[in-house]
Amino acid sequence: MSMPTIKQVRAFTLRGGGADYHDQGGGHWIDDHIATPMSKYPAYRQSRQSFGINVLGTLVVEVEASDGTVGFAVTTGGELGCWIIEKHLARFVEGALVTDIERIWDQMYQSTLYYGRKGIVLNTISGVDLALWDLLAKVRGEPVHALLGGPVRDELQFYATGARPDLAREMGFIGGKLPLHHGPAEGEEGMRRNLELLATMRERVGDDFWLMYDCWMSLDVDYATRLAARAAEYGLKWIEEALPPDDYWGYAELRRKVPRGMLVTTGEHEATRWGFRMLLEMGCCDIIQPDVGWCGGLTELLKISSLADAHGKMVVPHGSSVYSYHFVVTRHNSPFAEFLMMAPGADEVVPMFHPQLLDEPVPVNGRMKASVLDSPGFGVRLNPDCALHRPFAR
């Protein structure tokens, strides 16, 4: 078969919902007094939007092949991501064969080292990489998971992230992960409220349902250790992203200090095989949680996952819907997946990337058949009703 080449890469912004899932209206659980590294400033404590969690907006990457096939992906990156693609990365993509994914990744990463390595640049590289996988799989007429070696199980099972683990249990999920609401600056009263919510949920869900706390980088080792010790009484399964992502030493210390059986998880804001090598070799956590739209894309996630496998660690990607599912279903060390409850009250299952994506599958009774993922590419379409803006069109 003669392989098509990539004719053009285009970068767009898009506001509201989808990959920019923090850009929500008032009253949504995802912006309701959640503990963050900014919580020490009372003015930025009530809402994450107040300190700018939603400033970037969604980045949509389209890659068009010489045979007319179009691959695309969405991630967080907005106008900055568009600039990086149109002004810099496009040169490595356009004219390449649609199979040139590994070479393109290396050139995108090496050429941006002097200003990249993590953060927005890696978000952007991830977006291009995911669009390239979508394109290649569509050209081949296969789902992305088939290019990764195929499913290793018949179905995915999910835990739910949101404010209502009690409802998640009724909806068939295997666990519920709560956002932590109060950080160290809110003192003993905040600690008491954190434990109270956990106790209430434990009472509602019974003994066998997983409960976790996502701390979104908001704590220090002392607070996290005390929270873990007291939360053990309510069977907390894991404590997630308790510390800032650069504090590898703190994570290693926390992991030594948490009660036996409680897991320490992190990695949502980590990137590349080198970042995760730090987490793994320093004994920072029990589960790594890369976001495939931020850590370097699927090409890099495969390397990160192999590294974790060799360390005997699980990889349970952060959110990201179909971009995660096609990976999770092919990995032995990813036995379950995260589902982000995007209904404002976390009281019903709605597509994570609504309204940006069409045909996005959601779990039913906390599960999803692998066969649901059998359409070509990632199996989703960009909603034509969403207004795309291309700020740096060439």
Contacts to Mg ion by CB under 5 A: 214, 268
Nearest distance, CB of residue 161 and Mg ion, angstroms: 7
Residue 240 annotated as binding site: yes
Whether a cis peptide bond, with omega within 30° of 0, leads into 361 is: no
Q: Which CB, 159 or 378, lies closer to Mg ion?
A: 159
Q: What stretch of H or E contains 345? A: none
Nearest distance, CB of residue 82 and Mg ion, angstroms: 26
Q: Which CB, 58 or 289, lies closer to Mg ion?
A: 289
Q: Are 313 and 281 in contact (CB under 8 A)?
A: no
- Token pair 């974790």 is found at 308
Question: Which has the closest alpha carbon to 319: 276, 277, 360?
Answer: 360
CA distances from 64 to 7, 70, 96 (A): 6, 4, 11
At position 333, the amino acid (one-letter code) is N
Please tell me the distance from the alpha carbon of residue 267 to that of residue 317, in angstroms, as a whole number.
9
Produce one character per residue of 120-130: b if its CB has 16 or more CB atoms within 10 Å, e if not.
bbbbbbbbbbb
- Token pair 């923090």 is found at 22
Please tell me the distance from the alpha carbon of residue 115 to that of residue 78, in angstroms, as a whole number.
18
Residue 155 annotated as binding site: no
Nearest distance, CB of residue 241 and Mg ion, angstroms: 5
Q: Which CB, 129 or 268, lies closer to Mg ion?
A: 268
Residue 48 annotated as binding site: yes
Question: Which has the closest alpha carbon to 173: 21, 387, 363?
Answer: 363
Q: Are 342 and 350 in contact (CB under 8 A)?
A: yes
Question: Which has the closest alpha carbon to 242: 284, 301, 201, 200?
Answer: 284
Nearest distance, CB of residue 100 and Mg ion, angstroms: 33
At position 45, the amino acid (one-letter code) is R
Q: Which residues are marked as active site?
A: 318
Q: Which CB, 6 or 242, lies closer to Mg ion?
A: 242
Residue nearest Mg ion by beta-carbon distance: 214
Nearest distance, CB of residue 319 and Mg ion, angstroms: 8
Nearest distance, CB of residue 32 and Mg ion, angstroms: 16
For 91, the 3-state DSSP assignment is helix
Q: What is the DSSP string of 132-156?
A: HHHHHHHHHTSBHHHHTT--SSSEE
Q: Which CB, 159 or 353, lies closer to Mg ion?
A: 159
Q: What stretch of H or E contains 60? A: strand 58-65
Q: Are 49 and 356 in contact (CB under 8 A)?
A: no
Q: Which CB, 168 or 382, lies closer to Mg ion?
A: 168
Residue 64 annotated as binding site: no
Binding site for Mg(2+): residue ranges?
214, 240, 268
Binding site: residue ranges?
22, 48, 214, 240, 268, 338
